[in-house]
């Protein structure tokens, strides 16, 4: 057994830290589980009360290679012995270049590519927009319903959900336009829009919605969207902050749609848990920005770059793309078995290991956030950490490490299945 629960959840030490937190930490920074962690290893987390949990949240998708992977720890320690930071703008270093070379060669783009690195997913998206505007000399940005792109002013403007991400924070950046997300239920309609395509610099789209509920885009509609971009000289940006680095069964989710993006944004699992993000794209597009136009003090920190190089080696050596598909197939099979007995499960969907389970009121068919929260709390009480998503907060999403072993995966699914059946 992997799970070990010794106290009521949260335990006394976690409750003590929660009390201290309330007196010192900004209230606006919410917390899902209210347990405080002392150790992470593989797919397990130990809290300050020595309870051991299976992690199906993975730091919101940042831990695809597992907690404290020895190869990442070794890469970090070797770099720390030499130096922590110089700023690539001031005194550059090889690891940034090696990572840019590696990712540029792996990007599913036929043209020669280059990369630039930043700190967070929002920074990556915002810089991709800056680059697109520089290259096209246009200002408009086209995004889609239920999208989440970040919490900066620009990326909040591009994000769909008002509460909690945008509420009270306006006015927002102008010239951001929204169309329905091109999944199997929504049509792509470019007629009677409130924008001129000749003013649109870029389309920014998640191949699978993250915060929006783990909804995959339709392959045929993505091809149609790419065609529209080509016809109107609009850059196509694939936001792979949550879908990237193997989560969907390919290094980048966009590989499964049969289209070629102009730029890709990456973050989360790129550096095994350290802050790092990036933009990869066609060289002529990336190079359109004047010198000094992109960068940042900590952007592409050497410790994070070394960690990211180790992550890429781990993904290949441990066949994590294959693992992602096995995890997804296992989860789908287990959940599909209980759907006839649980009419509150609307559907299970996703790509690879990026799976969402939508919970509804079985009498009305409406999204059921209350039941979803009860399932979450029951799972936590029994040793499973997970998080939810969706506009109404009624989608259970799975972001377990892709390194999770078979027994631990089934143990975690057992807890999840029991929580769903009993609530």
Q: What percentage of the chain has pLDDT greater than the value 70?
A: 100
Q: Which two tokens stand for residue 279?
A: 């933009």
Nearest to 216 by CA among 397, 337, 360, 55: 397
Distance CA 83, CA 303 (A): 8
- Helix, strand, coil shares of the chain as percentages rounded to 5? 40, 20, 45
- The mean pLDDT of 78-102, rounded to a whole number, is 98
Measured distance CA(246)–CA(402) in Å, rounded = 8
- Does the pLDDT at position 1 exceed 80? no
- Integer Cα distance of 171 and 402 in angstroms: 40
Contact, 47 vs 38, CB < 8 A?
yes
Whole-angstrom Cα distance, residue 296 to residue 227? 34
Mean pLDDT of the chain: 96
Element (H, E) at 230: helix 219-231
- Strands 354-359, 44-47: pairing is unpaired
pLDDT of 193 strictly over 90: no
Strands 200-205 and 235-239, by their bridges, are parallel
Question: Torsions phi, psi of 199, nearest 5?
Answer: -105, 0
**CA 73, CA 54: separation in Å to the nearest integer?**
21
Distances (CA, A) of 384 to 53, 73, 179, 311, 379: 5, 25, 36, 25, 5
User: Could you tell me which residues come within 8 angstroms of residue 386 by beta carbon, excluding any fewer than 6 positions away?
Assistant: 56, 57, 376, 379, 380, 396, 397, 398, 416
Q: What is the mean pLDDT of residues 403-407?
A: 97
Q: Region 292-306: what's the mean pLDDT?
A: 97
Residue for token pair 């049509």 = 187
- Tens digit of pLDDT for each residue in 251-266? 999 999 999 999 999 9
Task: Among 25-29, 74-78, 188-192, 390-394, name the one with the lowest average pLDDT.
Answer: 188-192
The string of pLDDT tens digits covering residues 331-381 is 999 999 999 999 999 999 999 999 999 999 999 999 999 999 999 999 999
Q: Which CATH number fits domain 12-65+319-422: 3.40.50.300, 3.40.50.720, 3.90.1150.10, 3.30.1490.190?
A: 3.90.1150.10
Contact 300, 88 (CB under 8 A): yes
Enumerate the domain spans of the chain. 12-65+319-422, 70-317
Q: What pLDDT is stored for residue 45 in this prediction?
A: 98
Which is it for the CA torsion 378, 381, 383, 387, positive or negative? positive
146-185 tens-digit pLDDT: 999 999 999 999 999 998 999 999 999 999 999 999 998 8
pLDDT per residue over 10-58, tens digit each? Answer: 999 999 999 999 999 999 998 999 999 999 999 999 999 999 999 999 9
Return the residue matching tokens 């809290």: 47
CA distance 106 to 92: 23
pLDDT of residue 274 exceeding 80, the answer is yes
Could you give phi then psi for residue 41, rounded to 5 degrees?
-150, 120
Q: Does 276 score more than 90 pLDDT?
A: yes
Say what percent of the chain tops pLDDT 90: 96
Beta bridge partners of 40: 45
Residue 114 near residue 262 (C-beta atoms within 8 A): no
Q: What would be the CATH architecture of the domain defined by 70-317?
A: 3-Layer(aba) Sandwich (3.40)
| Residues 58-71, mean pLDDT to the nearest whole number | 97
């Amino acid at each position: 057994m992997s799970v070990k629960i010794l106290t009521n959840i949260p335990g006394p030490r976690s409750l003590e830290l929660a009390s201290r937190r309330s007196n010192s930490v900004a209230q606006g920074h919410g917390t899902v589980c209210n347990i405080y962690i002392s150790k992470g290893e593989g797919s397990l987390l130990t809290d300050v009360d020595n309870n051991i949990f299976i992690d199906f949240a993975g730091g919101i998708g940042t831990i695809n290679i597992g907690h404290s992977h020895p190869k990442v720890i070794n890469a970090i320690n070797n770099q720390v012995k030499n130096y922590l930071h110089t700023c690539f703008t001031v005194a550059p270093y090889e690891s940034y270049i090696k990572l840019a070379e590696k990712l540029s060669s792996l990007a599913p783009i036929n043209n020669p590519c280059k990369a630039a690195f930043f700190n967070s997913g929002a920074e990556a998206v915002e810089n991709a927009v800056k680059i697109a505007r520089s290259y096209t000399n246009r200002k408009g940005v086209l995004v889609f319903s239920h999208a989440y792109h970040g919490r900066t002013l620009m990326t909040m403007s591009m994000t769909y959900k008002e509460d909690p991400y945008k509420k009270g924070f306006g006015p927002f950046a102008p010239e951001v336009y929204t169309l329905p997300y091109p999944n199997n239920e929504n049509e792509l309609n470019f007629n009677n829009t409130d924008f001129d395509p000749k003013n649109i610099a870029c389309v920014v789209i998640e191949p699978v919605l993250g915060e929006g509920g783990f909804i995959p885009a339709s392959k045929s509609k993505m091809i149609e969207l790419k065609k529209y971009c080509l016809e109107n000289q609009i850059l196509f940006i694939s936001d792979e902050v949550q879908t990237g680095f193997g989560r969907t069964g390919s290094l980048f989710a966009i590989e499964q749609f049969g289209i070629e993006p102009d730029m890709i944004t990456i973050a989360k699992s790129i550096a095994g848990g350290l802050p790092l993000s990036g933009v990869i794209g066609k060289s002529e597009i990336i190079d359109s920005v004047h010198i000094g136009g992109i960068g940042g003090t900590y952007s592409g920190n050497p410790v994070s770059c070394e960690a990211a190089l180790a992550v890429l080696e781990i993904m290949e050596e441990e066949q994590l793309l294959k693992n992602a598909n096995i995890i997804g197939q296992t989860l789908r099979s287990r959940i599909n078995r209980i759907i006839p007995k649980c009419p509150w499960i609307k559907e299970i969907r996703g790509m690879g290991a990026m799976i969402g389970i939508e919970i509804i009121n079985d009498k009305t068919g409406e999204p059921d956030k209350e039941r979803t929260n009860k399932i979450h709390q029951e799972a936590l009480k029994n040793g499973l950490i997970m998080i939810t998503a969706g506009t109404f907060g009624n989608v259970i999403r799975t972001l377990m490490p892709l390194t999770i072993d078979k027994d631990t995966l089934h143990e975690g699914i057992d807890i999840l299945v029991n929580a769903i059946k009993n609530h």
